[in-house]
Amino acid sequence: MRTISVGVFKIATRGPGDVSGLMSLIGSGAIDPTSILAILGKTEGNGGVNDFTREYAVAALCAALAPKLGLTPHEVEQRIAFVMSGGTEGVLSPHITVFTRQEAAARPAGISGKRLSIGMAQTRDFLPEELGRSAQIAETAKAVKAAMADAGIADAADVHFVQIKCPLLTSDRVEAAAARGNKTATISAYSSMAYSRGASALGVAVALGEVASDISDDIMLRRYDLFSKVASTSSGIELMHNVVIVLGNSASSVSEFEIGHAVMSDAIDSAAVMSALKSVGLDVDLGTTPQPGRELVNIFAKAEASPNGSVRGFRHTMLEDTDISSTRHARAAVGGLIAGLAGTSSVYVSGGAEHQGPAGGGPVAVIARLTD
């Protein structure tokens, strides 16, 4: 069994095109650009169909990394998994998290137990009529299993977060399907984001045995009792396939990091956030100092407005606001809750949690560095 070392670097950004922090770490030797496997980021766009800050951020990163890797920007995008989540409402702070992976020598005597590992895989390109349907679920499930193998993770219980970037529909894509005599799951570009996120999440659930594999198209966005406890999916206009990143703990890793997770039952579930922090030894209470030997690196969470229109019996208006989309409301609310508990606003909160945790809730994962 190969032994790997995984690095995690959280870098603040001054805008979606700011690559100075990453370039500084590469220049100092802290990051070997050839070891970069994935970059997850929060950008200050609207998080919707026309959020071009995501594409801008990826283009800037690819252009900056290309000469360091001896590749073209397009080749960089094929080599590294980029997942940009738009929307930093409320106190959320724009940033990127860079994940590196290198082959390592045999496990040192001082390192025991399972440590953070990361794996990546991609699906084939989807036809527009396949988005939000069983084909996307099945192909995603295959890619999740491939990413687990890439990470050296055999047990589904060791998977704590699966980040997926998935496609959405545009009017051109809907028209292309119609020209072939096929109907898409929806003709709305905005609604297609939810369909694609939901199918991708159910693909994770199938791969990890959280739900049965025989899922029919008609349960999508209806059977919210079917979900994954570790899936985080984000839709974008810039691709037609799914990019899958699996984060978990593995005995093959000698990383100085660990990851754990919990599941928020609703948007104000502070107990779940605290549970996720404690799962990696961060026994923090309302921003107080964590126990010695542990340091918070980042928190990754999903957020959505409860589809039944209430939170713990009280009506919310997020779904009825025609000025601000419900996903923006949810990101701000959950982002504020997590920031207050963790003592930092530089956290990754993504909106739209269809089939990602229970309806109105969502998974929350924490990465900690073991400083001792």
Exactly one of 234, 306, 325, 346 is catalytic; name it: 234
Kindly state the tokens that stand for 40: 């997850």
Q: Is 133 annotated as a binding residue?
A: no
Say if residue 353 carries a ligand binding annotation.
yes
According to DSSP, residue 226 is labeled -
Distance CA 337, CA 303 (A): 11
346 is catalytic: no
With tokens 């997850």, the residue in question is 40
| Distance, CA of 345 to CA of 336 (rounded, Å) | 8
297 CB contacts (<8 Å, ≥6 apart)? 8, 10, 97, 257, 367, 368, 369
Is 132 labeled as ligand-binding?
Answer: no
Cα angle 232, 237, 238; round to 5: 95
Closest CA to 335 of 51, 54, 44, 52: 44
| CA dihedral over 280, 281, 287, 293, signed as positive or negative | negative
- Told to judge if 234 belongs to the known catalytic residues of this protein, a careful annotator would answer yes
Q: Does 304 count as an annotated binding residue?
A: yes
Active-site residue (options: 165, 229, 325, 326): 165
Q: Tokens 């939810």, residue?
A: 194
d(CA 157, CA 260): 10
How are beta strands 159-167 and 81-86 bridged, if at all?
A: unpaired
Q: Kindly report the length of the chain.
A: 372
3 state SS of 70: coil
| Residue 351 counted as an annotated binding residue | yes
235 is in an annotated binding site: yes
Any known ligand binding at 356? yes
Q: Is 294 within any annotated ligand binding site?
A: no
106 is in an annotated binding site: no
Catalytic residues: 165, 234
Summarize the annotated binding site as residue ranges.
54, 85-86, 197, 234-235, 304, 331, 350-351, 353, 356-358, 361
Summarize the annotated binding site for Mg(2+) as residue ranges.
304, 353, 356-358, 361
Summarize the annotated binding site for substrate as residue ranges.
54, 85-86, 197, 234-235, 331, 350-351
